[in-house]
A and B are shown apart, each in its own frame.
Chain A
Amino acid sequence: MLKALLGAWALAACSAEETAAVEDHLGDCGACADEARRLREAVGLLQRPDSLDLDPALRTRVLESCLDRRPPRIPVPGWAMSYDAETARLDALLQDFGDAEWHAPVQLRWFRGADATSRRTTVAGVIAHLLAVDGLVAVALGLDDPLGPVTGGTAGKPVGSPAERTEAFWDASRFPPTRSVRGPWRDQTHALVRTASFTGGGTSLASEAERGGGPGTMPVSYGDFELPLRDALVDRAFECWVHAVDIAEAVDYPYEPPAPRHLHAMVDLAARMLPGALAERRRAGLTSPGEPRHLVTAGRPGRSLRLEIEGLGGGEWLIPLDSPAAVGSADHEVAHVALDDVEFCRLAAGHVSPEEAAAGQVGDSTAISDVLSAAAALSRM
Chain B
Amino acid sequence: MAKKDAPPRWDRRMQQRLARGEAAALGELYDRFASLVHGLAHRVLGDERAADGVTREVFAHVWEHPDSYDPRQGPLRSWVAALTHRLAVQRLRATESAALALGGSGSTEELEDKVRHASVAARADYIVQSMPTPLRAALELAYFQRRDYRQTAADLGVTEDEARRRLRLGLQLLSTAHDAVAPGAPPGRYGGAA
Given A8-B142, A43-B143, A190-B31 in contact, is the A38-B175 Cβ separation under 8 Å? yes
B residues 113-158 near A (Cβ < 8 Å) are: 120-121, 124-125, 128-129, 139, 142-144, 147-149, 152
Contact with A along B14-32 (1 / 0, CB 8 A): 0000001111111110110
> CB distance B27 to A84 under 8 Å?
yes
Residues of B within 8 A of A75 (CB): 23
B168, A6: Cβ atoms closer than 8 Å = yes
Q: Residue A74 contacts which of B23, B43, B121 (CB distance < 8 angstroms)?
A: B23
Count residues on chain B whose CB falls below 8 Å from chain A CBs: 57
Among A5, A13, A69, A74, which residue has its beta carbon within 8 angstroms of that of B20? A74
Q: Are the C-beta atoms of A42 and B177 separated by less than 8 Å?
A: yes
Contact, CB under 8 Å: B164 / A8: yes
Choose among A15, A52, A73 the residue that contacts B22 (Cβ–Cβ < 8 A).
A73
Query: Would you call B55 and A58 a contact (CB within 8 A)?
Result: yes
- CB-defined contacts of B1 to chain A, threshold 8 Å: 182-183, 186
Main secondary structure of the interface of A (DSSP, over half): helix
Provide the bound-state CA to CA distance between A48 and B59, in Å.
Answer: 26
Instruction: Please determine whether A66 and B59 come into contact, CB atoms closer than 8 angstroms.
Output: yes
* Complex alpha-carbon distance, A194 and B167, angstroms: 43
A6, A11, A35: residue with the most chain B Cβ atoms closer than 10 Å? A11
- CB contacts (< 8 Å) of B42 on chain A: these are 50, 52
Does B172 sit at the interface, judged by CB under 8 A? yes
Q: Which residue of A lies closest to B39 (CB)?
A: A50
**Whole-angstrom distance from the CB of B94 to the nearest CB of chain A?**
19
| Cβ contacts A188-203/B at 8 Å (1 or 0 each) | 0010011001000000
Indicate whether A45 reaches chain B with its CB closer than 8 angstroms: yes
With A66-B59, A70-B21, A194-B24 known, 11 other A-B pairs at CB within 8 A are A5-B164, A7-B164, A7-B165, A11-B167, A11-B171, A13-B152, A42-B172, A46-B144, A59-B31, A65-B60, A72-B22
Closest A-B pairs by Cβ, 3 of them:
A7-B168, A73-B21, A7-B167
A-B contact pairs, 22 of them (CB 8 A): A4-B161, A4-B168, A6-B168, A7-B168, A8-B142, A8-B164, A13-B167, A15-B148, A35-B172, A38-B175, A41-B178, A45-B121, A45-B174, A46-B124, A46-B143, A49-B129, A52-B42, A62-B56, A65-B60, A69-B64, A72-B21, A91-B31
Q: Which residues of B does A touch, CB under 8 Å?
A: 1-3, 20-28, 30-31, 34-35, 38-39, 42-43, 48, 52, 55-56, 59-60, 63-64, 120-121, 124-125, 128-129, 139, 142-144, 147-149, 152, 161, 163-172, 174-175, 177-178
